[in-house]
């Protein structure tokens, strides 16, 4: 597995976060269903591995989601439409849209996704889909309040500077 630094639970610093070779060097095998890599004021980067024969579970988010597939093949079901997907493909799921992603290949389906705003606790690592669902149901895997604020709030509180 590519060694990722443990993400912080604090609001992001004003510094670069670098993830080399994300589309070419992620392993074709991973033991984790979900790993949050970074959480910002307005977005979140998450690595996911859908096991052979598995899926992410049908869901609807209140936030936008962009998924980039790096390994494997599968089926995207978004807003009532289906699309075969493979490594190198990207799918955008607008907020409020029912979606499901299924692994239909002989190897894990690996992707990274960007949520905007954040969807998960900044330090979440879930070995299985069931573990992730349990933490969500129990209110453990929730995004931090600071990642859900408006642009206006962030400017007023000094997290970002108003455009000049």
**Which among 39, 46, 47, 55 is positioned nearest to 102, based on CA atoms?**
55
pLDDT in tens, 54-102: 999 999 999 999 999 999 999 999 999 999 999 999 999 999 999 999 9
CB contact at 8 A, 33 and 48: yes
Q: Which domains occur in the chain, in start order?
A: 27-127+145-157 (2.60.120.10)
Alpha-carbon distance values, 140 to 122, 132, 163 (Å):
11, 9, 35
- With a cut of 80, say whether residue 30 has pLDDT above it: no
pLDDT digits (tens, 9 = 90+) for 110-162: 999 999 999 999 999 999 999 999 999 999 999 999 999 999 999 999 999 98
What span, in angstroms and rounded, lies between the C-alpha atoms of 34 and 106? 20
Instruction: To the nearest 10°, report the CA torsion of 117, 3, 133, 112.
Output: 50
Mapped onto helix, strand or coil, the DSSP state of residue 74 is strand
Using 50, 70 and 90 to split pLDDT, how confident is the model at 28?
Answer: low
């Amino acid at each position: 597995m590519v060694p990722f630094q443990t993400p912080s639970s604090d609001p992001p610093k004003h510094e670069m976060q670098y993830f080399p070779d994300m589309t070419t060097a992620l392993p074709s095998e991973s033991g984790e269903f979900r790993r949050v890599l970074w959480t910002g004021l307005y977005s979140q980067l998450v690595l996911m591995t859908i096991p052979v024969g598995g899926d992410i579970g049908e869901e609807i988010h209140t936030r936008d989601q962009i998924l980039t597939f790096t390994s494997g093949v599968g089926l995207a079901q978004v807003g009532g439409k289906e699309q075969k997907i493979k490594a190198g493909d990207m799918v955008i799921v607008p907020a409020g849209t029912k979606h499901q992603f299924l692994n239909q290949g002989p190897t894990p389906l690996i992707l990274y996704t960007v949520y905007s705003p954040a969807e998960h606790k900044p330090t979440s690592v879930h070995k299985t889909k069931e573990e992730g669902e349990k933490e969500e149901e129990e209110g453990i895997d929730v995004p931090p309040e600071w990642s859900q604020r408006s642009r206006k709030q962030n400017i007023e509180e000094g997290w970002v500077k108003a455009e000049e």
